[in-house]
Chains A and B, each alone.
Chain A
Protein backbone atom coordinates (compact mmCIF):
# COMPACT_ATOMS: atom_id res chain seq x y z
CA UNK A 1 0.00 0.00 0.00
CA UNK A 2 2.90 2.32 0.86
CA UNK A 3 4.46 1.60 -2.55
CA UNK A 4 1.25 2.58 -4.31
CA UNK A 5 1.12 5.94 -2.54
CA UNK A 6 4.76 6.60 -3.48
CA UNK A 7 4.02 5.91 -7.14
CA UNK A 8 0.96 8.17 -7.10
CA UNK A 9 2.96 10.97 -5.51
CA UNK A 10 5.72 10.62 -8.09
CA UNK A 11 3.13 10.83 -10.85
CA UNK A 12 1.62 14.01 -9.46
CA UNK A 13 5.08 15.59 -9.14
CA UNK A 14 5.94 14.71 -12.75
CA UNK A 15 2.65 16.15 -14.02
CA UNK A 16 3.26 19.39 -12.12
CA UNK A 17 6.71 19.75 -13.62
CA UNK A 18 5.42 19.60 -17.24
CA UNK A 19 4.99 22.99 -18.89
CA UNK A 20 1.61 23.66 -20.43
CA UNK A 21 1.55 24.28 -24.21
CA UNK A 22 0.49 27.89 -23.77
CA UNK A 23 3.33 28.58 -21.40
CA UNK A 24 5.82 26.97 -23.76
CA UNK A 25 4.81 28.98 -26.83
CA UNK A 26 4.18 32.34 -25.18
CA UNK A 27 1.34 34.81 -25.39
CA UNK A 28 1.68 35.33 -29.18
CA UNK A 29 0.89 32.34 -31.37
CA UNK A 30 0.44 31.68 -35.08
CA UNK A 31 -0.65 29.01 -37.53
CA UNK A 32 -0.87 28.57 -41.27
CA UNK A 33 -3.38 26.93 -43.56
CA UNK A 34 -2.91 26.48 -47.30
CA UNK A 35 -6.34 27.02 -48.78
CA UNK A 36 -5.58 26.22 -52.41
CA UNK A 37 -5.91 22.52 -53.11
CA UNK A 38 -4.90 22.45 -56.77
CA UNK A 39 -1.45 22.53 -58.34
CA UNK A 40 0.43 25.83 -58.27
CA UNK A 41 0.31 26.96 -61.89
CA UNK A 42 1.58 30.17 -63.46
CA UNK A 43 -1.54 32.21 -64.16
CA UNK A 44 -3.27 31.14 -60.95
CA UNK A 45 -2.65 32.13 -57.33
CA UNK A 46 -1.96 30.07 -54.22
CA UNK A 47 -3.99 31.17 -51.23
CA UNK A 48 -2.90 30.90 -47.61
CA UNK A 49 -4.67 31.82 -44.38
CA UNK A 50 -2.18 33.05 -41.76
CA UNK A 51 -3.66 33.19 -38.27
CA UNK A 52 -2.25 35.17 -35.33
CA UNK A 53 -3.45 35.57 -31.79
CA UNK A 54 -2.03 37.34 -28.74
CA UNK A 55 -2.87 37.33 -25.06
CA UNK A 56 -0.94 40.56 -24.45
CA UNK A 57 -1.39 43.88 -26.26
CA UNK A 58 -2.55 44.02 -29.90
CA UNK A 59 -1.29 42.55 -33.13
CA UNK A 60 0.90 44.96 -35.05
CA UNK A 61 2.37 43.59 -38.25
CA UNK A 62 2.65 40.42 -40.30
CA UNK A 63 5.33 39.61 -42.81
CA UNK A 64 6.09 36.80 -45.22
CA UNK A 65 9.18 36.07 -47.24
CA UNK A 66 8.96 33.67 -50.17
CA UNK A 67 12.06 31.83 -51.35
CA UNK A 68 11.16 32.88 -54.92
CA UNK A 69 9.61 36.29 -55.55
CA UNK A 70 5.98 36.06 -56.70
CA UNK A 71 4.41 37.81 -59.66
CA UNK A 72 1.64 40.37 -59.96
CA UNK A 73 -1.07 39.71 -57.41
CA UNK A 74 1.27 38.45 -54.71
CA UNK A 75 0.68 39.88 -51.25
CA UNK A 76 -1.57 40.08 -48.23
CA UNK A 77 -5.21 40.97 -48.50
CA UNK A 78 -6.37 43.75 -46.21
CA UNK A 79 -9.44 41.73 -45.32
CA UNK A 80 -10.23 38.84 -43.05
CA UNK A 81 -13.46 36.93 -43.46
CA UNK A 82 -16.21 35.78 -41.17
CA UNK A 83 -19.40 33.86 -41.80
CA UNK A 84 -22.56 35.81 -41.15
CA UNK A 85 -24.63 33.51 -38.97
CA UNK A 86 -27.90 34.90 -40.23
CA UNK A 87 -27.17 34.52 -43.93
CA UNK A 88 -24.39 31.92 -43.99
CA UNK A 89 -22.48 34.15 -46.38
CA UNK A 90 -18.79 34.92 -45.85
CA UNK A 91 -18.20 38.63 -45.36
CA UNK A 92 -15.00 40.64 -45.39
CA UNK A 93 -13.72 42.66 -42.45
CA UNK A 94 -10.86 45.07 -42.93
CA UNK A 95 -8.05 44.06 -40.59
CA UNK A 96 -4.97 45.61 -42.21
CA UNK A 97 -4.44 49.30 -42.83
CA UNK A 98 -1.74 48.83 -45.40
CA UNK A 99 -0.18 45.97 -47.37
CA UNK A 100 2.97 46.05 -49.48
CA UNK A 101 4.96 43.60 -51.56
CA UNK A 102 8.56 44.29 -52.49
CA UNK A 103 10.41 41.50 -54.22
CA UNK A 104 9.88 38.32 -52.22
CA UNK A 105 8.71 40.11 -49.06
CA UNK A 106 5.11 41.03 -48.34
CA UNK A 107 3.94 42.87 -45.24
CA UNK A 108 0.67 43.98 -43.72
CA UNK A 109 0.27 46.62 -41.02
CA UNK A 110 -2.67 45.68 -38.88
CA UNK A 111 -5.26 48.21 -37.86
CA UNK A 112 -4.64 47.62 -34.16
CA UNK A 113 -7.27 48.75 -31.69
CA UNK A 114 -8.66 47.12 -28.61
CA UNK A 115 -10.28 44.18 -30.29
CA UNK A 116 -7.46 43.18 -32.59
CA UNK A 117 -5.90 40.42 -30.58
CA UNK A 118 -6.60 37.72 -33.20
CA UNK A 119 -6.75 37.86 -36.99
CA UNK A 120 -6.54 35.52 -39.96
CA UNK A 121 -5.06 37.24 -42.97
CA UNK A 122 -5.15 35.96 -46.52
CA UNK A 123 -1.86 35.79 -48.40
CA UNK A 124 -1.80 35.18 -52.15
CA UNK A 125 1.21 33.99 -54.08
CA UNK A 126 1.32 34.20 -57.86
CA UNK A 127 3.99 31.84 -59.26
CA UNK A 128 6.16 33.23 -62.04
CA UNK A 129 7.83 31.66 -65.07
CA UNK A 130 11.08 31.64 -63.09
CA UNK A 131 9.53 29.42 -60.40
CA UNK A 132 8.33 26.69 -62.79
CA UNK A 133 9.41 23.23 -61.67
CA UNK A 134 11.01 24.61 -58.48
CA UNK A 135 10.05 24.41 -54.82
CA UNK A 136 8.91 27.51 -53.01
CA UNK A 137 8.75 28.00 -49.22
CA UNK A 138 7.29 30.77 -47.12
CA UNK A 139 8.54 32.20 -43.85
CA UNK A 140 5.66 33.93 -42.08
CA UNK A 141 6.13 36.08 -39.02
CA UNK A 142 3.97 38.31 -36.85
CA UNK A 143 4.65 40.93 -34.17
CA UNK A 144 2.56 42.34 -31.37
CA UNK A 145 2.53 45.76 -29.71
CA UNK A 146 4.47 44.30 -26.77
CA UNK A 147 7.41 43.52 -29.06
CA UNK A 148 6.84 39.77 -29.16
CA UNK A 149 7.43 37.93 -32.46
CA UNK A 150 6.37 34.52 -33.80
CA UNK A 151 7.42 32.70 -36.93
CA UNK A 152 5.98 29.95 -39.11
CA UNK A 153 7.98 28.07 -41.74
CA UNK A 154 5.80 26.54 -44.43
CA UNK A 155 6.64 23.24 -46.10
CA UNK A 156 7.97 23.32 -49.67
CA UNK A 157 5.44 23.58 -52.49
CA UNK A 158 6.38 22.48 -56.01
CA UNK A 159 5.42 24.93 -58.74
CA UNK A 160 3.98 23.18 -61.77
CA UNK A 161 5.86 23.09 -65.07
CA UNK A 162 2.56 23.47 -66.90
CA UNK A 163 1.44 26.54 -68.81
CA UNK A 164 -2.17 27.58 -68.57
CA UNK A 165 -4.27 29.76 -70.82
CA UNK A 166 -7.90 30.46 -70.06
CA UNK A 167 -10.87 31.45 -72.22
CA UNK A 168 -9.65 31.24 -75.77
CA UNK A 169 -12.47 32.08 -78.14
CA UNK A 170 -12.86 29.81 -81.19
CA UNK A 171 -15.19 30.59 -84.08
CA UNK A 172 -16.01 28.28 -86.96
CA UNK A 173 -14.66 29.72 -90.21
CA UNK A 174 -12.77 32.53 -88.47
CA UNK A 175 -10.61 32.08 -85.34
CA UNK A 176 -10.57 28.36 -85.87
CA UNK A 177 -6.89 27.35 -86.02
CA UNK A 178 -5.48 26.31 -82.66
CA UNK A 179 -1.78 26.13 -81.88
CA UNK A 180 -0.77 24.33 -78.68
CA UNK A 181 2.83 25.54 -79.08
CA UNK A 182 1.63 29.16 -79.07
CA UNK A 183 -1.40 28.57 -76.81
CA UNK A 184 -3.27 30.75 -79.28
CA UNK A 185 -6.01 30.71 -81.90
CA UNK A 186 -5.57 32.12 -85.40
CA UNK A 187 -7.63 32.89 -88.48
CA UNK A 188 -6.78 31.39 -91.86
CA UNK A 189 -5.27 34.73 -92.93
CA UNK A 190 -3.09 34.92 -89.84
CA UNK A 191 -1.83 31.39 -90.39
CA UNK A 192 -0.91 32.17 -93.99
CA UNK A 193 0.51 35.64 -93.33
CA UNK A 194 2.73 34.49 -90.46
CA UNK A 195 3.60 31.12 -91.97
CA UNK A 196 2.18 29.20 -89.00
CA UNK A 197 1.01 26.06 -90.82
CA UNK A 198 3.42 23.76 -88.97
CA UNK A 199 2.23 25.08 -85.62
CA UNK A 200 -1.48 24.44 -86.15
CA UNK A 201 -2.58 21.39 -84.19
CA UNK A 202 -6.28 21.29 -84.93
CA UNK A 203 -9.13 23.12 -86.58
CA UNK A 204 -12.34 24.00 -84.78
CA UNK A 205 -15.59 23.52 -86.68
CA UNK A 206 -19.27 23.18 -85.93
CA UNK A 207 -21.58 21.06 -88.04
CA UNK A 208 -24.87 19.87 -86.51
CA UNK A 209 -24.62 16.80 -88.73
CA UNK A 210 -22.04 15.35 -91.07
CA UNK A 211 -22.88 12.67 -93.67
CA UNK A 212 -26.30 12.44 -92.03
CA UNK A 213 -24.94 11.67 -88.56
CA UNK A 214 -24.72 13.85 -85.47
CA UNK A 215 -21.41 15.71 -85.41
CA UNK A 216 -21.61 18.97 -83.42
CA UNK A 217 -18.64 20.96 -82.16
CA UNK A 218 -15.38 19.35 -83.20
CA UNK A 219 -11.60 19.62 -83.18
CA UNK A 220 -10.05 18.02 -86.20
CA UNK A 221 -6.35 17.65 -86.96
CA UNK A 222 -5.40 18.62 -90.53
CA UNK A 223 -4.52 14.96 -91.20
CA UNK A 224 -8.20 13.97 -90.83
CA UNK A 225 -9.29 15.36 -94.19
CA UNK A 226 -12.67 13.58 -94.41
CA UNK A 227 -14.07 15.81 -91.65
CA UNK A 228 -12.56 18.95 -93.19
CA UNK A 229 -13.75 18.42 -96.75
CA UNK A 230 -15.86 21.60 -96.77
CA UNK A 231 -13.25 23.75 -94.98
CA UNK A 232 -10.93 26.00 -96.96
CA UNK A 233 -7.69 25.27 -95.11
CA UNK A 234 -4.56 27.42 -95.26
CA UNK A 235 -1.84 25.94 -97.42
CA UNK A 236 0.61 23.51 -95.86
CA UNK A 237 -1.49 22.11 -93.03
CA UNK A 238 -0.61 18.43 -92.52
CA UNK A 239 -0.11 17.79 -88.80
CA UNK A 240 -1.56 14.70 -87.13
CA UNK A 241 -2.38 15.71 -83.59
CA UNK A 242 -3.43 12.92 -81.24
CA UNK A 243 -6.60 13.45 -79.21
CA UNK A 244 -8.38 11.50 -76.50
CA UNK A 245 -11.80 12.85 -75.70
CA UNK A 246 -12.93 13.01 -72.05
CA UNK A 247 -16.29 13.82 -70.59
CA UNK A 248 -15.46 13.59 -66.90
CA UNK A 249 -12.34 15.73 -66.40
CA UNK A 250 -13.73 19.05 -65.21
CA UNK A 251 -10.49 20.74 -64.19
CA UNK A 252 -11.24 23.34 -61.51
CA UNK A 253 -8.55 25.77 -62.71
CA UNK A 254 -9.57 25.62 -66.35
CA UNK A 255 -13.20 25.81 -65.36
CA UNK A 256 -12.42 28.85 -63.23
CA UNK A 257 -15.07 28.12 -60.64
CA UNK A 258 -14.86 26.99 -57.05
CA UNK A 259 -16.49 23.83 -55.86
CA UNK A 260 -14.74 21.45 -58.22
CA UNK A 261 -11.79 19.50 -56.92
CA UNK A 262 -10.51 17.80 -60.05
CA UNK A 263 -7.14 19.05 -61.23
CA UNK A 264 -4.89 18.18 -64.13
CA UNK A 265 -1.37 18.06 -62.73
CA UNK A 266 2.03 17.67 -64.40
CA UNK A 267 1.98 13.93 -63.88
CA UNK A 268 -1.31 13.54 -65.74
CA UNK A 269 0.13 15.12 -68.86
CA UNK A 270 3.47 13.32 -68.49
CA UNK A 271 1.85 9.90 -68.22
CA UNK A 272 -1.09 10.21 -70.57
CA UNK A 273 -0.68 7.58 -73.25
CA UNK A 274 -1.92 8.15 -76.75
CA UNK A 275 -1.64 4.61 -78.10
CA UNK A 276 -3.95 4.38 -81.12
CA UNK A 277 -5.51 7.73 -80.19
CA UNK A 278 -7.60 9.43 -82.86
CA UNK A 279 -6.76 12.72 -84.51
CA UNK A 280 -10.18 14.31 -83.95
CA UNK A 281 -12.77 14.79 -81.24
CA UNK A 282 -16.35 15.67 -81.98
CA UNK A 283 -19.70 15.96 -80.25
CA UNK A 284 -18.00 18.24 -77.72
CA UNK A 285 -20.12 20.14 -75.26
CA UNK A 286 -19.41 22.34 -72.24
CA UNK A 287 -17.42 20.71 -69.41
CA UNK A 288 -15.89 18.16 -71.73
CA UNK A 289 -12.41 18.15 -73.20
CA UNK A 290 -9.59 16.12 -74.65
CA UNK A 291 -6.02 15.19 -73.90
CA UNK A 292 -3.97 16.33 -76.85
CA UNK A 293 -0.44 15.52 -77.97
CA UNK A 294 1.20 17.57 -80.68
CA UNK A 295 2.42 15.79 -83.79
CA UNK A 296 6.09 16.47 -82.98
CA UNK A 297 5.66 15.09 -79.46
CA UNK A 298 6.81 18.37 -77.93
CA UNK A 299 3.67 19.10 -75.92
CA UNK A 300 0.90 17.27 -74.11
CA UNK A 301 -2.12 19.31 -73.18
CA UNK A 302 -5.61 19.13 -71.84
CA UNK A 303 -8.04 21.29 -73.78
CA UNK A 304 -11.19 21.99 -71.82
CA UNK A 305 -14.49 23.27 -73.24
CA UNK A 306 -15.83 26.14 -71.13
CA UNK A 307 -18.81 26.90 -73.35
CA UNK A 308 -20.30 26.23 -76.79
CA UNK A 309 -22.71 28.29 -78.83
CA UNK A 310 -24.56 26.59 -81.67
CA UNK A 311 -26.03 29.80 -83.09
CA UNK A 312 -22.75 31.66 -83.27
CA UNK A 313 -20.84 28.46 -84.12
CA UNK A 314 -18.34 29.24 -81.42
CA UNK A 315 -16.60 27.64 -78.48
CA UNK A 316 -14.64 28.90 -75.48
CA UNK A 317 -11.74 26.72 -74.40
CA UNK A 318 -9.01 26.74 -71.77
CA UNK A 319 -5.70 24.89 -72.03
CA UNK A 320 -3.18 23.36 -69.66
CA UNK A 321 -0.01 22.41 -71.45
CA UNK A 322 3.22 20.64 -70.53
CA UNK A 323 6.41 20.65 -72.57
CA UNK A 324 7.55 17.04 -72.92
CA UNK A 325 10.90 17.52 -74.64
Chain B
Protein backbone atom coordinates (compact mmCIF):
# COMPACT_ATOMS: atom_id res chain seq x y z
CA UNK B 1 0.00 0.00 0.00
CA UNK B 2 2.88 2.29 0.92
CA UNK B 3 4.50 1.63 -2.44
CA UNK B 4 1.20 2.44 -4.15
CA UNK B 5 1.14 5.93 -2.63
CA UNK B 6 4.76 6.43 -3.61
CA UNK B 7 3.91 5.72 -7.26
CA UNK B 8 1.01 8.16 -7.16
CA UNK B 9 3.26 10.83 -5.69
CA UNK B 10 5.93 10.22 -8.31
CA UNK B 11 3.28 10.35 -11.02
CA UNK B 12 2.00 13.69 -9.73
CA UNK B 13 5.52 15.06 -9.56
CA UNK B 14 6.22 13.99 -13.12
CA UNK B 15 2.98 15.62 -14.27
CA UNK B 16 3.80 18.89 -12.50
CA UNK B 17 7.14 19.00 -14.27
CA UNK B 18 5.57 18.69 -17.74
CA UNK B 19 6.09 21.94 -19.65
CA UNK B 20 2.97 23.45 -21.23
CA UNK B 21 3.83 25.03 -24.56
CA UNK B 22 3.69 28.82 -24.86
CA UNK B 23 3.47 30.97 -27.96
CA UNK B 24 5.87 33.71 -29.02
CA UNK B 25 4.04 36.26 -26.86
CA UNK B 26 4.32 34.08 -23.75
CA UNK B 27 0.69 32.97 -23.72
CA UNK B 28 -0.15 29.38 -22.85
CA UNK B 29 -1.15 27.11 -25.71
CA UNK B 30 -3.93 24.90 -24.38
CA UNK B 31 -6.08 22.09 -25.73
CA UNK B 32 -9.19 24.16 -26.36
CA UNK B 33 -10.39 24.36 -29.95
CA UNK B 34 -13.30 26.78 -29.50
CA UNK B 35 -12.83 29.88 -31.56
CA UNK B 36 -15.25 32.82 -31.52
CA UNK B 37 -15.71 36.44 -30.47
CA UNK B 38 -18.16 37.19 -27.65
CA UNK B 39 -18.09 40.99 -27.25
CA UNK B 40 -16.94 44.06 -29.16
CA UNK B 41 -16.51 47.68 -28.07
CA UNK B 42 -15.08 50.84 -29.55
CA UNK B 43 -13.72 53.77 -27.50
CA UNK B 44 -13.33 57.40 -28.53
CA UNK B 45 -10.43 59.74 -27.71
CA UNK B 46 -11.97 60.32 -24.28
CA UNK B 47 -11.80 56.56 -23.64
CA UNK B 48 -15.55 56.19 -23.48
CA UNK B 49 -17.58 53.89 -25.67
CA UNK B 50 -18.81 55.42 -28.91
CA UNK B 51 -21.15 52.57 -29.79
CA UNK B 52 -24.92 52.85 -29.66
CA UNK B 53 -26.12 50.51 -26.95
CA UNK B 54 -27.85 47.33 -28.15
CA UNK B 55 -26.93 47.73 -31.82
CA UNK B 56 -23.75 45.65 -31.91
CA UNK B 57 -24.25 42.28 -33.60
CA UNK B 58 -21.69 39.50 -33.57
CA UNK B 59 -22.43 36.75 -36.09
CA UNK B 60 -20.15 33.82 -35.24
CA UNK B 61 -21.22 31.84 -38.31
CA UNK B 62 -20.77 34.57 -40.86
CA UNK B 63 -17.79 35.80 -38.80
CA UNK B 64 -18.92 39.41 -38.87
CA UNK B 65 -19.34 42.16 -36.36
CA UNK B 66 -21.58 45.12 -37.15
CA UNK B 67 -21.89 48.08 -34.84
CA UNK B 68 -23.29 51.59 -34.93
CA UNK B 69 -21.27 54.54 -33.61
CA UNK B 70 -23.00 57.56 -32.16
CA UNK B 71 -23.66 60.70 -34.20
CA UNK B 72 -20.52 62.77 -34.55
CA UNK B 73 -18.02 60.01 -33.74
CA UNK B 74 -14.64 60.50 -35.35
CA UNK B 75 -14.25 57.01 -36.81
CA UNK B 76 -10.71 57.77 -37.91
CA UNK B 77 -9.48 57.62 -34.31
CA UNK B 78 -11.15 54.93 -32.23
CA UNK B 79 -9.80 52.13 -30.10
CA UNK B 80 -11.32 48.61 -30.46
CA UNK B 81 -11.65 46.03 -27.69
CA UNK B 82 -13.21 42.57 -27.75
CA UNK B 83 -13.75 39.47 -25.67
CA UNK B 84 -13.12 35.99 -27.02
CA UNK B 85 -13.78 32.42 -25.83
CA UNK B 86 -11.43 31.05 -23.14
CA UNK B 87 -7.74 30.78 -24.15
CA UNK B 88 -8.30 32.23 -27.64
CA UNK B 89 -6.30 35.22 -28.88
CA UNK B 90 -6.88 37.94 -31.47
CA UNK B 91 -4.57 39.01 -34.28
CA UNK B 92 -3.64 41.77 -34.81
CA UNK B 93 -3.73 43.10 -31.27
CA UNK B 94 -6.66 45.37 -30.48
CA UNK B 95 -6.47 48.37 -28.13
CA UNK B 96 -4.65 50.73 -30.47
CA UNK B 97 -6.00 53.79 -32.28
CA UNK B 98 -7.50 52.54 -35.51
CA UNK B 99 -9.24 54.06 -38.52
CA UNK B 100 -12.71 52.48 -38.78
CA UNK B 101 -13.91 54.41 -41.79
CA UNK B 102 -13.33 51.11 -43.61
CA UNK B 103 -14.20 47.60 -42.26
CA UNK B 104 -11.38 46.05 -40.28
CA UNK B 105 -10.44 42.37 -40.06
CA UNK B 106 -9.33 40.48 -36.97
CA UNK B 107 -8.52 36.80 -36.66
CA UNK B 108 -9.57 34.85 -33.58
CA UNK B 109 -7.18 31.97 -32.91
CA UNK B 110 -8.23 29.07 -30.67
CA UNK B 111 -6.43 28.06 -27.47
CA UNK B 112 -4.70 25.15 -29.25
CA UNK B 113 -3.69 27.61 -32.03
CA UNK B 114 -5.03 25.36 -34.76
CA UNK B 115 -8.42 26.96 -35.50
CA UNK B 116 -8.42 30.46 -37.00
CA UNK B 117 -11.50 32.49 -37.82
CA UNK B 118 -11.30 35.90 -39.43
CA UNK B 119 -13.98 38.39 -38.40
CA UNK B 120 -14.85 41.45 -40.42
CA UNK B 121 -15.82 44.38 -38.20
CA UNK B 122 -17.97 47.05 -39.80
CA UNK B 123 -18.91 50.21 -37.95
CA UNK B 124 -21.39 52.71 -39.36
CA UNK B 125 -22.29 56.15 -38.08
CA UNK B 126 -25.65 56.86 -36.51
CA UNK B 127 -27.71 58.64 -39.16
A contact set with B: CB distance below 8 Å: 210-211, 213-215, 227, 244-248, 275-278, 280, 282-283, 288
Check B126 against A276 for contact (C-beta < 8 Å). no
Q: Interface-forming stretch among B13-21, B25-33, B66-74, B105-113? A: B66-74
Q: Which of B46, B71, B77: most chain A CB closer than 10 A?
A: B46
Question: Does B48 have its Cβ within 8 Å of any Cβ on chain A?
Answer: yes
B70 vs chain A, min Cβ distance (A) = 7
Check A276 against B74 for contact (C-beta < 8 Å). yes
Question: Does B45 have its Cβ within 8 Å of any Cβ on chain A?
Answer: yes
Question: Does B76 have its Cβ within 8 Å of any Cβ on chain A?
Answer: yes
CA distance A276 to B48 in the complex (A): 17
B contact set with A: CB distance below 8 Å: 44-48, 70-72, 74, 76-77, 97, 99, 126
CA distance A213 to B73 in the complex (A): 12
Check B72 against A215 for contact (C-beta < 8 Å). yes
CA distance A245 to B23 in the complex (A): 38
CA distance A213 to B44 in the complex (A): 17
Check B74 against A275 for contact (C-beta < 8 Å). no
Check B72 against A282 for contact (C-beta < 8 Å). yes
Check B97 against A246 for contact (C-beta < 8 Å). no
- Pick from B45, B71, B76: contact of A245, CB below 8 A: B45
- Pick from B44, B47, B48, B77: contact of A275, CB below 8 A: B77
CA distance A282 to B1 in the complex (A): 76
Known: A213-B70, A213-B71, A215-B72. A278 touches B77 (CB 8 A): yes
B78 vs chain A, min Cβ distance (A) = 9
Contacts of A278 in B (CB 8 A): 45, 74, 76-77
Check A244 against B72 for contact (C-beta < 8 Å). no
Q: Which residue of A lies closest to B44 (CB)?
A: A245
Contacts of B46 in A (CB 8 A): 245-248, 288
8 A-B pairs with least C-beta separation = A213-B71, A278-B74, A276-B76, A276-B77, A247-B46, A244-B45, A245-B46, A245-B45
Contacts of A214 in B (CB 8 A): 71
A293 vs chain B, min Cβ distance (A) = 13
6 A-B pairs besides A210-B71, A214-B71, A244-B77 with CB distance below 8 A are: A227-B72, A247-B48, A248-B47, A276-B97, A277-B45, A282-B72
Known: A275-B77, A275-B97, A276-B77. A211 touches B71 (CB 8 A): yes
A69 vs chain B, min Cβ distance (A) = 41
CA distance A102 to B99 in the complex (A): 58
CA distance A297 to B16 in the complex (A): 59
Check B77 against A277 for contact (C-beta < 8 Å). yes
A196 vs chain B, min Cβ distance (A) = 27
CA distance A280 to B46 in the complex (A): 13
Known: A276-B77, A276-B97, A278-B77. A246 touches B71 (CB 8 A): no
Check A213 against B45 for contact (C-beta < 8 Å). no
CA distance A68 to B50 in the complex (A): 49
Contacts of B72 in A (CB 8 A): 210, 213, 215, 227, 280, 282-283
B79 vs chain A, min Cβ distance (A) = 11
Contacts of B71 in A (CB 8 A): 210-211, 213-214
CA distance A276 to B76 in the complex (A): 6
Contacts of A215 in B (CB 8 A): 72
B98 vs chain A, min Cβ distance (A) = 9
Q: Which residue of B lies closest to A215 (CB)?
A: B72
Q: Which residue of A lies closest to B76 (CB)?
A: A276
Q: List 28 A-B contacts (CB under 8 A).
A: A210-B71, A210-B72, A211-B71, A213-B70, A213-B72, A213-B126, A214-B71, A215-B72, A227-B72, A244-B45, A245-B44, A245-B45, A245-B46, A246-B45, A275-B77, A275-B97, A276-B74, A276-B76, A276-B77, A276-B99, A277-B45, A277-B77, A278-B45, A278-B74, A278-B77, A280-B72, A282-B72, A283-B72
CA distance A278 to B48 in the complex (A): 16
A213 vs chain B, min Cβ distance (A) = 4
